[in-house]
Structure 1
Amino acid sequence: MDRLSPRYEIENHTTSVRDDDHDASFTVRRNGKVFYIQISPSQFVNSPIMTEKYMAYLEVLRLGEEVVGDIYDTDVYEWVFTPFEPLFVELAPNTPGDPKDTKLTLHEHLFPDFFVFALDIIDEKRCPRRIPRERSPCRPSFVRFEDDFLDDLEEWTTFYDPVEVTLSFKNPEDALFKQPRKVLIQKGRIECFFKFCHSSVQITRELKTYKMIAAAGLDCQLNLCRIHGVVMDDSDFILGLLLTYIDCAELPLSMRVHPDEPDDHPPAMRQRWIEQLDTGLGRLHEAGIVWGDVKAENVLIDQNNNAWITDFGGGYTEGWVDREMAETMEGDLMGMAKLRKFIFPSE
């Protein structure tokens, strides 16, 4: 946000796809605390001007564009959050001590102190209204597994309580504001990528694939993302996976290679990437394992310019693999052919 504003991070916003539902909700994080903000025109009183403005802003949110007409998404966020900034400061004050000493567990991030508000508009004025809630309106996960599947998981991987997982940021204070990517387990000895769990179907397929990769011993031989463990809370909800942390500056292959700039990376380096991908996919197929959603976004290039195969959650992406070939070896080969063309656009 603007430098004169208190620091906070907008985690997400949601709107309805129904034409007759004009509600919106926002999630904001500041200093380790979370604010849930709800907006409904049903709570607007004697405010036709603000109602018209809100409806225009709602369209920007629904379209997910940075700018629609002369309205920027930053205009929308400023309009929504400015009335709450004094409350952000009051309810989520700066933590005492040196920010460099900030240390948060995954449990503290996923189950934070929270506040629920509505943004009412009365006589054309934006009026925050607090809504008392004992329970958070959001849970980090609703995914559970049957006992037999959990018993099998315990045979080949490790379960972690979120209190055993520590957030890791280059700037430690960012742990109070941002979603984690890198986390630490086993008292800080192992770096992992934390993948949030949103779909039971996807996570089940992914876990089965990681089991096959481990059984074939491929996770130790190739540049394949491997699993270090599963994070589960006290209620047996699966919160996420602990995967290989690949230091790629958060840039997948899709953002490392620019088709309009064929000389951006030397041909020898590009050849190295395609050979590593070909080798990895070939060994997967020899073991009877399907990669699945083959695309440039699922290839990571690490700091040593090695190409890594990631994301075994299945599915397909239009333009990379045809729907009828999704999650098949034939689909993998189709996606690999598209990857080769992406890496070597002039061929």
Structure 2
Amino acid sequence: MAGRGFELPGISRDCQVLQKIKDIGLSQSCRVPALEGLLSLREGSGVIGFLTNYIETSDDLGDLISLFNKVVTIPISRREKWGGQIKYIVEQLHGQGVIWGDASPRNVLIDIDDNAWLVDFGGGYNIDPKLMDTMEGDMEGLRAVYEFLKV
């Protein structure tokens, strides 16, 4: 896909990672978006975006970052559940050689069934830019998510 007109590295990386996740079947077994298609302005004009399946979130809580300054109002059992789900998904990804690349509370959605989903595979870093797009960077980000959740 890299040669299909992607100009923004984040979008290109996001699509490549989502394609890999789809190819190895993780989008069937983990709560990560499933790549559904690519968008272009017209045939042969290059890719400008992508489509994934819709993750329906609750009205009061869409992503973890929406809990900023009020995370302690959520029962610890829910926060521990989400933390465990996030860790499990990261472990499944790493087991297949896939890097999340932007582990952050803003990239964790909570669906209407109160389950955590990992989104945004476009790359980035949390604390140490030398760890960008590495498993170590994901683990650093996971620690930051745990600190955010206070678990």
Task: Please report the TM-score for the alignment, with normalisation by the length of structure 1.
Answer: 0.40
Is this contact kept in 1: 2:2–2:16, CA < 8 A?
A: no
1:254 and 2:60 aligned: no
- Report the alpha carbon displacement of residue 251 of structure 1 after superposing the two structures with TM: 3.0
- 2: CA distance between counterparts of 1:209 and 1:286? 14
Which residue does the alignment assign to 1:164?
none
Which residue does the alignment assign to 1:220?
28
- Report the alpha carbon displacement of residue 326 of structure 1 after superposing the two structures with TM: 0.7
Which residue does the alignment assign to 1:279?
88
- Report the alpha carbon displacement of residue 239 of structure 1 after superposing the two structures with TM: 2.8
User: Aligned AA for 1:315?
Assistant: G
Q: Select 1:309's aligned residue among 118, 122, 127.
A: 118
Is this contact kept in 1: 2:71–2:149, CA < 8 A?
A: no
Q: Secondary structure at the match of 2:50?
A: strand
Which residue does the alignment assign to 1:292?
101
Q: Can you give the 5+ residue segments of structure 2 that lack an aligned partner in the other structure?
A: none
- Report the alpha carbon displacement of residue 272 of structure 1 after superposing the two structures with TM: 1.0
- Report the alpha carbon displacement of residue 258 of structure 1 after superposing the two structures with TM: 3.8
Q: CA separation of 1:283/1:205 partners in 2, compared to 1, >3 Å: closer, same or farther? A: same
Which one has the bigger helix percentage? 2
Which residue does the alignment assign to 1:57?
none
Give me the identity figure in percent. Answer: 29
| 1:1-347 → structure 2 map (5 Å cutoff) | 146=3, 149=4, 199-234=7-42, 235-248=44-57, 249=59, 251-255=62-66, 257-260=67-70, 262=72, 264-316=73-125, 320-344=126-150
Q: Deviations over 1:144-191 (max 9, x none)?
A: 963xx58xxxxxxxxxxxxxxxxxxxxxxxxxxxxxxxxxxxxxxxxx
Q: CA separation of 1:280/1:145 partners in 2, compared to 1, >3 Å: closer, same or farther? A: closer
Is this contact kept in 2: 1:321–1:332, CA < 8 A?
A: no
> Which structure has the greater CA radius of gyration?
1
Q: Deviations over 1:3-57 (max 9, x none)?
A: xxxxxxxxxxxxxxxxxxxxxxxxxxxxxxxxxxxxxxxxxxxxxxxxxxxxxxx
Is this contact kept in 1: 2:123–2:133, CA < 8 A?
A: yes
Which one has the bigger strand percentage? 1
Task: Please report the TM-score for the alignment, with normalisation by the length of structure 2.
Answer: 0.87
- Report the alpha carbon displacement of residue 293 of structure 1 after superposing the two structures with TM: 1.0
- 1: CA distance between counterparts of 2:79 and 2:11? 31
Is this contact kept in 2: 1:293–1:321, CA < 8 A?
A: no
Aligned residues: 148
Q: Secondary structure at the match of 2:148?
A: helix
- Report the alpha carbon displacement of residue 329 of structure 1 after superposing the two structures with TM: 0.4
User: Aligned AA for 1:211?
Assistant: Q
Q: Deviations over 1:242-282 (max 9, x none)?
A: 01211224832111x244551x1111111110111000000
- 1: CA distance between counterparts of 2:40 and 2:149? 39
